[in-house]
Structure 1
Amino acid sequence: MPAVSSLRLRPTVAASLLALHALGAMAQTPAAEPAASSGTLATVNVEASADASAEGLTKPYAGGQVARGGRVGILGNQDMMSTPFSGTSYTADLIQDQQAKSVADVLLNNPSIRQARGFGNFQELYMVRGFQLGSDDISYNGLYGMLPRQYVASELFERVEVFLGASTFLNGAAPAGSGIGGAINLLPKRASSEPITRINTGIQSGGQAFVSTDIARRFGPDQSTGIRLNAVRRDGGTGVDGEKRELSAFGLGFDWHSRNVRLSADLGFQDHEIRGGRPNVTPAANLPIPAAPDARKNYAQPWSFSKERDTFVTARGEVDITDNVMAWAAFGARRGTESNALANPTLKDAFGNLSSSRFDNVRKDEVSTGEIGVRGKFQTGPVGHSVTVSAAMYDNKRRNAYATSPTGGLSDNLYTHYDSFMPLTTTSPTVGGNMSDPLLQSRYRSKSIAIADTMSFLDDRLLVTIGARRQNIDQDTYSYGSGLPQSGYESARTTPVAGVVFKATNEISVYANYIEALLPGETAPVRTSSGQAVLNAGTVFAPYRSKQKEIGVKYDGGSIGGSISAFSTDQPQYYVQNGSFGANGEQRNQGVELSLFGEPVKGLRVLGGLTWLDAEQRHGATDGKTAIGVPKTQLNLGAEWDVPGVRGFALNARVIHTTKQYANATNTQVIPGWTRVDAGARYIVDIGNGRALTLRARIDNLFNKSYWSSTGGYPGSNYLVLGNPRTFSVSGTIDF
């Protein structure tokens, strides 16, 4: 296990660290001392604006693990009791205390979400209310397409905002074609009123060590200018045998404000590589799902890898035209490259024998996006109005190429792995494009305009929101080999929204909504996850809409809060049937969600909830069957306890329970339900001279449960993902 001190830093990150410390020296502002109390030693609690907005961040709720609300698309930041939608905003305190390394780690706290994988790769993909949400459809400060597609380091964001339900009116259509069940928005870090000089280092099972730094300062006589820099380097093995990950990430955030103008900007860079990553497994057709192997086992070929490198920049501005009229504009751009050499196996029999082939691909993305808007408030008699008008655009040019080896060229076993040689890739038709210089293969463009009016009645106790977004989508695909146009469409759709909130008391709000999702047309894949060639590969289908209805009740008791909601959402099903890809049915997800959060008694914080789902396939060959990869019940429950009499010491634990999932559309293949327990501890020490040392230890999958954590993910696919083994993590954070 390598020592933390031996951790290698790439020149880019090393230079970033030096710049961070130089910035700290320039400011010459002493850090605030940690606050003391009879029970715990609290870290400095400071607030910062997440972007160029007059509202700033929504306030943390009791316990500090979640916020009182968050961004509701073009409607801006809203308190949880005033919006007709459901969601949760996780804070930086929760991210740090749970040693979360990525978005997926944070979302382990949400009972409406389960983690899966992208099609044939290591992309983090989320099942939200039983529908897919790809990591490339996560927004950054309200803008789509800015983040790395497969993995996002947690050091780059302040909050993780989860919106449950369709959101096309609020955010625009998710460009990668997911997000029917919900949306995720990451908020960047900003300099707070108090200076920050923080270094964090740690190590986990498998020898992966890391070091990160976070420095923020405000400048000027009125603290009008802020700069915040974050950098992280991780390198080493994981708890999975032979799997290694390497990451370098850097983020720079800037903000400035005057009396009526607010500006912010971000520059981000991430370089992430997985070597020997444990792959997905496609089950054999019409055979029972085999028992999960030991969670530490790896059936990856040692030569397999996945690399991605991304650079992005965003800017946002807001100006108060009058006391009641505000306008804003935002812009973003990203350049990303990916390359992979994969060998995703297919099960051949009930004894765990596997067959796979080599699949290589390269991808380059050029993304640009922007939005403008204006919001005005006025009265018409006893009715208050908040009217929002917004326009947005998005453009993604994707270059792609792939190559494969002969099908079935590699053999292996799920329980007794053995390495295979790296086979050569073959010529056409198993090669698409030039691997060293991929041509333009796909272009997606969209533009939209939206308008909404939130009307308030009865002294703001009754709020009614109505609106619509008109969105035009232009999508084309091109030949891998020649770059000539192959298929495409241009189409426009209007998606409405209607929502109502009634504040029955100061503690209870009742809400309902109707909202739709607009998704870009699906593109027929080159092959299925089992290697079957698709007859109409590359065909692009027209956009389609998904309709959602929801009702719910929210409770705010000051120290404890929660909600209960019921929803129903319909979605067309696209999958391969008789060798061709197309809309071959419909999926209807209906469910009930219960959430709980807060600090019911001093020193005890709770977070979690329960979700019941009924995901039924309709109007197809599998009418009445449950959709692939959607469990009936999902439970997440966590608690953190300040140990009495031990100043600064806290214990935490979390239980995650998921019932069985079907691994095929006919429901003849089943993966068992599973329960996982995580535990951790935190100890804060005042080391004098205004410095605090925070020590954290964590054990994920405490009882080393071996289980298939998910099946499916990509629509129509049914590959299996093995859950991670017991993983130990320790870290130390010093605030100077």
Structure 2
Amino acid sequence: EVLRGPSTLLSGVPPFGNIGGVINLIPKRALDEPLNRVTLGYASDAQVYKAVDISRRFGEAKEWGLRFNGAFNNGATPIDNQSVHFGTAALALDYRGERLRAALDLGYQELDVRSPLRNRNVAAGVRIPRAPDLTLNQQQPWEYRDSANQQLATRVEYDLTPDLTLYSAYGRSNFRQEYFGGVLTIFNTRGDYRDPISYLPMHIVNRTAEAGLRGIVETGPIRHSFGLAAVGFWQDLAQPTAQNVGPVIVSTLYDPVSVAPRSTFGLSNATPRTSSRINRSLAIADTMSLFDERVLVTVGGRWQSLDVNSYNPATGFRTGTSESGAFSPGVGIVVKPWERLSLYANYVEGLTSPAPPVNAVNASAAFPAAVSRQTEVGAKLDLGTVGLGFAAFEIEQPFGFLDARTLVFSVDGRQRNSGVELTVFGEPVPGIRVLGGVSLLNGVQVQAQDPRNVGRVAIGVPEVQLNLYGEYDLPPSLLPGLSLTGRVIYTAAQYYDLANSQKIPDWATLDLGLRYATLFQDRPLTLRANVVNVTGNNYWATTGRGILAQGTPRTVLLSASVDF
């Protein structure tokens, strides 16, 4: 689920995110009917993918549910010298009674990458060179990133009355990673770079808890849907100073060299705590429905506190602290002049704290939180088979930047992003489905440490973004069950630096695919074939905070799923 606008009023601002919205991941739950699904897949150059999805419900009223998902992926990628080993397992248990509902989710994920690509840095004042062939790998074949993540989440809901529900939830994740390699710094327009090799272990423990009450009550002609929530988030980060291994490698983006393998033998893999973060908040909101639900008014607020601490990895003593607190209001209104048309407006605030990237020398530094604000107005039109949306918005928030010369991350000022967005989704013609939109953006630095940067374009904000996906079902007379799919993505140019002297060009990609749904021995069978970046376009995908990320090379994806 992508929740935008004042949704952060009750969900809370993500620990390192913006107030513009929340991406809510919904765990799979057991279906009413049994499911056994096996999927086999292939991705270029030589990755083999296997997955299972098993679902069952038990009990007289099918009140008990179990769902298991497992996947394993292994093999070479389209990028030279790179291979991926990926495995995941997720178990979802749930109970749904007359008044009580409960769920427990357990998960494990492992990802090992050989010769992993990292984001790049560009030296100050250097014009960003053209993107290299995306299949070239500038990292050494012996570099690696190994990671594993364990997670647990549980949730309980109880209906005190038909219109009043009490709930609580708790979650925990334990993430470990070892990285052996370097972050490239491009130092001239020819694409020459320096690659300092280092060993960096990391350990992150996240815990979160929530309790709340939601309900419905009527006061005369007004129907209230209200909610109360208390949320806490605790994080301990162990990211010691990187340990350098050997001399810096110098090479070029377009013809990278390989050097003799290096070893981590004798290096410490200890991960003492280097920083901690605590988010606490209390929220209340009420959505009032008037005039037969033709007018919806939401008012509320969230008190937030954000404490960030940094620690000396050798002594464990606290070396820095930042404590911030604020009350963040939120309001919204939806008006339906006609049944199919909704007009809306909202305003929301929240505390956000920019976090340094992992390759910053002050990666564990504590930065004070600052208030971010978003205002949005828009309209949504339901034409039955097609939905249209329009939104105009303005977001003001702090921004951080990684200095490519010193690798010091700093919160340099504030930026204001304003723009409009048009969206479309639905089936305008039987057999043709579309989903996508276009955004016109204007990002401006409104505060900066260097006053000359005020009024300049904010880093990493393109003027235009377009995403359009479509499906076409071939007529049954030709081949029933066959669908053509396609997606176009366009992103305008973006500035890399605060002074607007370094810029990456605009780019566009085309993805094409086929999906064929049929029966095999009376069992549902779905075959898929997709090609990402069909034209093989080489491009820098995005920039921001002083880092540069390259795009995805042409990749072929094949899969077959069967239910039995």
TM-score, length of structure 1 as denominator length: 0.73
**Structure possessing the higher relative contact order (Cα contacts under 8 Å, 6 or more residues apart):** 1
The separation in 1 between residues aligned to 2:474 and 2:517, in whole angstroms, is: 12
1:194–1:576 CA distance, 2 compared to 1 (3 A)? closer
Other-structure match for 1:47: none
Confirm or deny that 1:643 pairs with 2:474. yes
- The match for 1:372 is 211
1:677-716 matched pairs, under 5 angstroms: 677-689=510-522, 691-712=523-544, 715=545
Q: For residues 334 and 619 of structure 1, do their structure 2 counterparts lie closer, same or farther at Cα, with a shift above 3 Å needed?
A: closer
- 1:601 aligned to 2:432? no
Superposition deviation, residue 173 in structure 1: 3.1
Shift of 1:354: 1.4
Query: Within the alignment, does 1:513 sit opposite 2:352 as a pair?
Result: no
Flag the 1:236–1:584 CA change in 2: closer, same or farther, 3 A.
Answer: same
Q: CA separation in 2, counterparts of 1:380 and 1:444?
A: 41
Q: 2:390 aligns with which of 544, 559, 564?
A: 564
TM-score norm. by structure 2 comes to 0.94
Task: State the shift of 1:421 in Å.
Answer: 3.3
Which letter does structure 2 place at the counterpart of 1:615? G
Letter aligned with residue 197 of structure 1? N
* Corresponding residue to 1:550 among 376, 386, 393: 376
| TM-superposition CA deviations, 1:613-671 (whole Å, max 9, x none) | 10111232211111112110011111101100211111111111111111221112221
Structure 2 distance, partners of 1:265, 1:538, is 32
Give the C-alpha shift of residue 326 in structure 1: 1.1
Q: 1:182 aligns with which of 7, 21, 25?
A: 21
Q: Deviations over 1:215-243 (max 9, x none)?
A: 10111121111110000000011111111
In 2 relative to 1, CA 583–279 (structure 1 residues): closer, same or farther, beyond 3 Å? Answer: closer
Instruction: Judge which range, 378-387 or 674-683, deviates more.
Output: 378-387
**Which residue of the partner structure matches residue 419 of structure 1?**
258
Helix, strand or coil for the counterpart of 2:303? strand
Distance in 2, Cα, partners of 1:408 & 1:594: 51
CA 1:238 to 1:254, structure 2 compared with 1: closer, same or farther past 3 Å?
A: same
Residue 90 of structure 1 is matched in structure 2 by: none
Per-residue Cα deviation, 1:83-116 (whole angstroms, up to 9, x for no partner) = xxxxxxxxxxxxxxxxxxxxxxxxxxxxxxxxxx
Structure 1 counterpart of 2:124, one-letter code? A
1:669 aligns with 2:508: no
More helix by share: 1
1:392/1:526 Cα in 2 relative to 1: closer, same or farther (>3 Å)?
closer
Check 1:199–1:224 CA distance in 2 against 1; reply closer, same or farther (3 A cut).
same
Q: Contact 1:345/1:357 (CA < 8 Å) preserved in 2?
A: yes
CA contact under 8 A between 2:8 and 2:22: conserved in structure 1?
Answer: no
For residues 413 and 616 of structure 1, the distance between their equivalents in structure 2, rounded to whole angstroms, comes to 33
The worse-fitting range, judged by mean Cα deviation, of 584-593 and 282-291 is 282-291
CA distance in 1, matches of 2:345, 2:35: 42
The Cα shift of 1:599 comes to 1.2
- Using the TM superposition, give the Cα deviation of residue 277 of structure 1 relative to its aligned residue in structure 2, in angstroms: 1.5
* 2:400 aligned partner: 574
Picking from 250, 259, 277, the partner of 1:444 is: 277
| 1:402 and 2:241 correspond | yes
Tell me how far apart the structure 2 counterparts of residues 584 and 671 of structure 1 sit (CA, whole Å): 21
* Contact persistence 1:166–1:517 (CA under 8 A): no
1:239 touches 1:724 (CA, 8 Å); kept in 2?
no
Task: Please give the alpha-carbon distance, in whole angstroms, between the structure 2 residues aligned to 1:472 and 1:301.
Answer: 43
Paired residues, what number? 557
Q: CA deviation at 1:398?
A: 1.9
CA distance change for structure 1 residues 227 and 623 in 2, over 3 Å: closer, same or farther? same
Report if aligned partners of 1:391, 1:448 keep a CA contact under 8 Å in 2: yes
More strand by share: 2
Residue-by-residue CA offset, 1:2-24 (whole Å, 9 max, x unaligned): xxxxxxxxxxxxxxxxxxxxxxx
Instruction: Report the alpha carbon displacement of residue 179 of structure 1 after superposing the two structures with TM.
Output: 2.5
**Deviations 1:21-73 (Å, cap 9, x if unpaired)?**
xxxxxxxxxxxxxxxxxxxxxxxxxxxxxxxxxxxxxxxxxxxxxxxxxxxxx
For residues 351-392 of structure 1, the C-alpha deviation after alignment (integer angstroms, 9 at most, x for no partner) is 222112013211112222111111121121111111211111
Unaligned segments of structure 1, at least 5 residues:
1-160, 428-433
Q: In the alignment, is the contact (CA less than 8 A) between 2:456 and 2:499 conserved in 1?
A: yes
Contact in 1 for aligned 2:10/2:229 (Cα 8 Å): no
Deviations 1:114-145 (A, max 9, x none): xxxxxxxxxxxxxxxxxxxxxxxxxxxxxxxx
Structure 2 gaps, min length 5: none
Q: Distance in 2 between matches of 1:476 and 1:231?
A: 37
Q: CA deviation at 1:566?
A: 0.4
Is the 2:425–2:436 Cα contact (8 Å) retained in structure 1?
Answer: yes
| Equivalences for residues 184-223 of structure 1 within 5 A | 184-223=23-62
Task: Sort the Cα spacing of 1:408 and 1:550 in 2 relative to 1 into closer, same or farther, 3 A.
Answer: farther
Indicate the residue corresponding to 1:173 in structure 2. Answer: 13
CA deviation profile, 1:567-595 (whole Å, cap 9, x unmatched): 00111233468977544322100010111
For residues 180-224 of structure 1, the C-alpha deviation after alignment (integer angstroms, 9 at most, x for no partner) is 333211101011112111000011111011100001011112111
Does 1:355 pair with 2:194? yes
With over 3 angstroms needed to count, the CA separation of the structure-2 counterparts of 1:296 and 1:424, relative to structure 1, is closer
Q: Hey, what's the Cα distance between the residues in 1 that align with 2:162 and 2:168?
A: 18
Check the 8 A contact 1:275/1:303 in 2, yes or no: yes
Aligned to 2:459: 628
| SS of residue in 1 equivalent to 2:61 | coil
Distance 1:234 1:548 in 2: 40
Structure 1 residues 678, 723: CA separation in 2 closer, same or farther (over 3 Å shift)? same
Number of the residue aligned with 2:181: 342
| Alpha-carbon spacing, 1:617–1:643, altered in 2? closer, same or farther (3 Å) | same
Counterpart check, 1:459 vs 2:287:
no
Work out whether 1:618 is the aligned partner of 2:446. yes
**Which secondary structure state, in structure 1, belongs to the residue aligned with residue 346 of structure 2?**
strand
CA displacement at 1:346 relative to structure 2: 1.2
Identity over aligned residues, as a percent?
36
Which one of the candidate residues 411, 414, 429 is aligned to 1:586? Answer: 414
Following TM superposition, by how much is the alpha carbon of 1:426 offset from its aligned partner in structure 2, in angstroms? 13
Distance 1:270 1:576 in 2: 30
Checking the alignment, whether the CA contact within 8 Å between 1:284 and 1:349 is kept in structure 2 is yes
- Counterpart secondary structure, 1:619: strand
Question: Structure 1 CA distance, aligned partners of 2:358 and 2:433?
Answer: 49
**Cα distance in 1, alignment partners of residues 409 and 205 from structure 2:** 27
For residues 32-51 of structure 1, what are the structure 2 equivalents within 5 Å?
none
Instruction: Find the residue that maps to 2:314 and give its secondary structure.
Output: coil
Partners of 2:223 and 2:21 in 1: CA distance: 29
Tell me: CA distance 1:422–1:488, structure 2 relative to 1, closer, same or farther (3 Å).
Answer: farther
Distance 1:678 1:524 in 2: 33
SS in 2 for 1:186: coil
Checking the alignment, whether the CA contact within 8 Å between 2:538 and 2:551 is kept in structure 1 is yes
The secondary structure found in structure 2 opposite 1:170 is helix
Q: Deviations over 1:644-701 (max 9, x none)?
A: 0211111111111111111221112221111110000011121234x11111101111
Give 3-state SS (helix, strand or coil) of 1:321's partner.
strand
Q: Distance in 1 between matches of 2:60 and 2:184?
A: 62
CA shift for structure 1 position 408: 6.6
Q: 2:299 corresponds to which letter in structure 1?
A: I
SS in 1 for 2:239: strand
C-alpha RMSD of the superposition: 2.2
Tell me the residue number matched to 2:367: 541
Q: Among residues 144, 151, 176, which one is paired with 1:305 in the alignment? A: 144
User: In the aligned structure 2, how far is the partner of 1:204 from the partner of 1:184?
Assistant: 27
